[in-house]
A and B are shown apart, each in its own frame.
Chain A
Amino acid sequence: MKKFRQYFLAQLKRVWKAFPFIALMTVLLVGCMAVISIAMLRSYNSSDKKQKLEIGIAGDTSNNYISFGLMAVQMLDTSRFYVDFSQMSEEEAKSRLKAGEMTAYVVIPEGFAEAFDAGEDAKVTYAAANQASGLGSALTNEIVEIVSNVIYSSRTSINGIWSFMDDYDCPEDPNVVSDDLFAEFMNLFLGRTKFWSVNYLGADGSLGFISYYVIAIMILFMLLWGITGSSLFMKRDVSLAKFLKAKGQGILLQISAEYLAYFVLMAGTMLMIFMPAVVVMAKANLILPEWQNDPVSQGITFVVRMLPAMALLAAFHFFLYELITNMVSGILFQFIMGLGLAYLSGCIYPLSFFPESIQRLVPFLPSGLAMKYGAGVMRGVSVGTEMAGIVLYLALFLGLAAIVRGRRMKA
């Protein structure tokens, strides 16, 4: 026990000496991930906007039917999620189309409604950017089709009502009647906006998207953080391991002391990063549904409860470094393995995006197990099975590290 304690304390001293370099690498890693996250977020937001078509409406929109019609088209299920209609002058519409800020614009000529009513050949002009094909062009064509159909159908309906009233000698003003009916019809359209509610099931079927990605980013960061341990593990002389063994400190004792010191380093660093991150999230009003009661306290509790996942990933890093002793290869290997496992485990794209066969395999990967454990902790459910898995993985990685070291000592 005394030998273990002495060696463990020596390893903690090593960790302390190496800490400035590790802290610097950690800051760089946080910076890189922050830059990438912000760039991705901005790209997502702008591409979200770019996915929506903007169509300008110019000309005479004073007529009630045209106004109602435009409103109807905007509220239609088939167009409301990917089309924005904006009213503007024709000059403005032309310049915005030329600048590429709009997909197309429609010009309703003066007196269109009256001419249409009188049965004259009234046409709406549709101007688009020069696209021979493409989604924008196809969608705009569809919208024009829809608008024409709506106008035609409503005109037909109005004529039908008037004819009915004529047939039955109704004394009311047919224009007033058709206006009232049309208004009633529009109310139904507008009323339809509230007949559904959206319940986001989230990426893993149980957690919200943000909660899922909080865990995913944590796991991804912990996986990539393994590269910062290079200064501790590289250029190690196997002669020290031989020397320790000759002095009665066997391989398992060596591995245990070194791993524990590394875990202390990793846990300390993660707590120093994630705890303030939780506070920042709360201040920025980014409150997860699971942390509604007390975002800071519940968030910090969550971070602390993630220590077993940190232990698992620390053991993973430790094993990889035992396997590869060359510095450059070691860092590359850590990076590739970390990123690969993060990708497969749903840290980058949600797990639900992957085929069923992959989804079944993932909980057995160390990173997948860490994700599953994190999800369980987040939801506040029992994580006994996941903990058992973590303990097994710890034994596996440290056992394999001991075997590798034994072989290196014999060489």
Chain B
Amino acid sequence: MIMTEIKNIKKKYGKKIVLEDISFSVQEGKCVGILGGNGCGKSTLLSILAGVQKADNGSFLWEGADLFADGKVRSEILGYVPQGNPLMEELTAWDNLRLWYDKESLKKELEEGVLAMLGIPGFIRVPVKKMSGGMKKRLSIGCAVANRPKLLLLDEPSAALDLVCKERIGNYLRDFKAQGGSIILATHDVPELELCDELFIMKEGVLEPYTFDGNVHHLVGRL
């Protein structure tokens, strides 16, 4: 059973403590959800885990390998979808995907792989600037999983998407979990909570375990 361990991650911006001793683990085939208000540090945590920023302290272990120290292994096993859409607006879906897939594997994935599952063939030649939010998000996920990651870091993947898109992405993530992939998900979205096997609330840089009882008001009260 592969386990991803995050231990004692700390981050400060000047005197402001953004992350204070963040520790948790993610099992193979499981999803950990991190809830929190705007500016609580969820995105900062994910960007640290993705290697975009450096932590002041702490470790990020996968199968015993320190992913903070080994950027090559990190980029091989991680897939990261930040907030917003990491796409080149002038180019088509095909051109964006070609940055991450070689031609043969791209064709294969479009026919019967993860890209087909995300419904990308339907808009493969559409320029990104003409796509809807849902299309862009699905394409972003398609780009992120090009390296067949073992661990997905998702920062609010369903933000501003309609129910159909959310369902589509949800189906893909369920499938990803079923195939043994692990997910760390930062979210505001109640439907996304159903994906999560374990929940945490981030408040003032501190992570606390949380069990969602289905009552949104209780959840809001905790935030």
> A residues touching B (Cβ–Cβ < 8 Å)?
6-7, 10, 13-14, 17-18, 235, 237-240, 242-248, 409-410
A240 to B136 CA separation, bound complex (whole angstroms): 12
* Known A-B contacts A237-B84, A240-B86; A245 and B99 likewise in contact (beta carbons under 8 Å): no
* Known A-B contacts A10-B95, A13-B95, A247-B75; A409 and B86 likewise in contact (beta carbons under 8 Å): no
CB distance from B47 to the nearest CB of A (A): 6
**Is B119 among interface residues, defined by CB-CB distance under 8 A?**
no
CB pair A237 B86 closer than 8 Å: yes
CB pair B99 A246 closer than 8 Å: no
Give chain B residues whose Cβ lies under 8 Å from the Cβ of A10: 88, 91, 95-96, 98-99
CB pair B99 A248 closer than 8 Å: no
Stretch of B19-27, B49-57, B168-176, B188-196 on the interface side: B49-57
**Is B8 among interface residues, defined by CB-CB distance under 8 A?**
no
B13, B83, B99: residue with the most chain A Cβ atoms closer than 10 Å:
B99
**Is B80 among interface residues, defined by CB-CB distance under 8 A?**
yes
CB pair A410 B53 closer than 8 Å: yes
Find residues 78-94 in chain B having any chain A CB closer than 8 Å to their own CB. Answer: 78, 80-91
CB pair B88 A240 closer than 8 Å: yes
Cβ-neighbour of B82 out of A6, A7, A235, A242 (below 8 A): A242
* Known A-B contacts A246-B78, A247-B100, A248-B75; A239 and B84 likewise in contact (beta carbons under 8 Å): yes
Given contacts A239-B82, A240-B86, A409-B52, 20 further A-B contacts (CB under 8 A): A6-B98, A14-B91, A17-B90, A17-B127, A235-B89, A238-B84, A239-B83, A239-B86, A240-B87, A240-B88, A242-B47, A242-B52, A243-B82, A243-B143, A245-B50, A245-B52, A246-B51, A246-B78, A248-B71, A248-B72
Complex interface bits, B46-76 against A, C-beta within 8 A gives 1, otherwise 0: 0100111100000000000000000110010
Give the total of B residues in contact with A, Cβ under 8 Å.
Answer: 32
**Is B201 among interface residues, defined by CB-CB distance under 8 A?**
no
A238 to B143 CA separation, bound complex (whole angstroms): 16
A248 to B70 CA separation, bound complex (whole angstroms): 11
Cβ-neighbour of B75 out of A17, A239, A246 (below 8 A): A246
CB nearest neighbor in B for A236: B89
Cβ-neighbour of B53 out of A18, A237, A409 (below 8 A): A409
CB pair B89 A239 closer than 8 Å: no
**Is B120 among interface residues, defined by CB-CB distance under 8 A?**
no
**Is B114 among interface residues, defined by CB-CB distance under 8 A?**
no
**Is B144 among interface residues, defined by CB-CB distance under 8 A?**
yes
* Known A-B contacts A14-B91, A248-B75; A239 and B85 likewise in contact (beta carbons under 8 Å): yes
